[in-house]
Amino acid sequence: MRRRSLLVWAAGAALLVGMVVLPAAARAQAAAEIADTGWWTQSPAPNAPAGGFEVAEGPQGPLSVAAFHIRVEATTLTQAVLTLSESQVVGTPTLQVCPTTSVWTPATGGAYSSAPTPNCATSVTMTRNATGAVDTADIRKLIGPGPTTVSLMVVPLPGAAPVQVPFDATFSAATMLADGDIEPAAAADTGSGSASSGTSGSSFGFDTSPPAAVGVGPSPDLGAAPFPALSPTPSPADQPAAAAPAQEVGRFPTAGQVGLPKGHGADKPWGRAWVFAIVALAVGALAAFARRWLHTLGWLEST
């Protein structure tokens, strides 16, 4: 009886470990994540917290802006939500996310003249939750399919009046919640390892690889001003919009053209059941052998 109980326990433990560890390993590769960040200001008194950033608007236009490099591995993104956690807010911030058309490197309160240039012809307006002190935006239409790295900026959303309503918003962190499928071929092209599909939540950090060659193309001639006037109105969220010129690669695929083959990946979460069964049988057999050997040595009592 004791031997049978031991075998059942060992098999159950092995099956549980396989169900937890193997799917977790498959999801180790993020669908999309923040690679690094930078922010720049011309405010006379910036007050961003340590490790955070600031976005501010003055009567004549933006005073502080922030940018992110977003690393995308998924060939099909089903979720890509950028969240900014507010630290301190003066006024009522109205923000939008735009692609950039110039190369930049991470900075903390850098000179405003070094800020990248946004292209807000295609943008996403951020939704503010004052109670939760967060600003969020679904940025899938600004990212497109991976593998790639794109550059996005968070800037003030201009109003209709000639004089803008000032505000100053500081943020303690930016996070990314993304979900999608990573095709084997796409992962192999970038040397990123095995294919997977999963959900990832990532905070921004500083990338050790040079970001200058990723996610951005040749800059159009926008004049000497480092930050041209923003578009008066953002594109409607439900209106199909083309990707920014510097980031467009072909056309966005449809749901039937990308992702894992039918019957694989997230559609068949029990596709590895035979692996779990083999692992469970192997562990059970090993436990039985070990018990018999210990009994032969006299370390265990007869049952």
Give the domain ranges of the chain.
Answer: 2-25+270-296, 31-213
Q: What is the pLDDT of residues 116-132, one digit of tens each?
A: 999 999 999 999 999 99
- Residues 218-225, mean pLDDT to the nearest whole number: 42
Helix, strand, or coil (residue 71): strand
pTM exceeding the 0.85 threshold for the entire prediction: no
Taking residue 273's Cβ as centre, other Cβ atoms within 10 Å add up to: 13
Q: DSSP label at 143?
A: H
List b or e across 155-166, with b for residues whose CB sees 16 or more CB atoms inside 10 angstroms. bbbbeeeeebee
Element (H, E) at 112: none
- Name the token pair of 216: 């951005």
**Which amino acid belongs to residue 38?**
G
pLDDT in tens, 9-41: 555 554 444 454 444 333 446 899 999 999 999
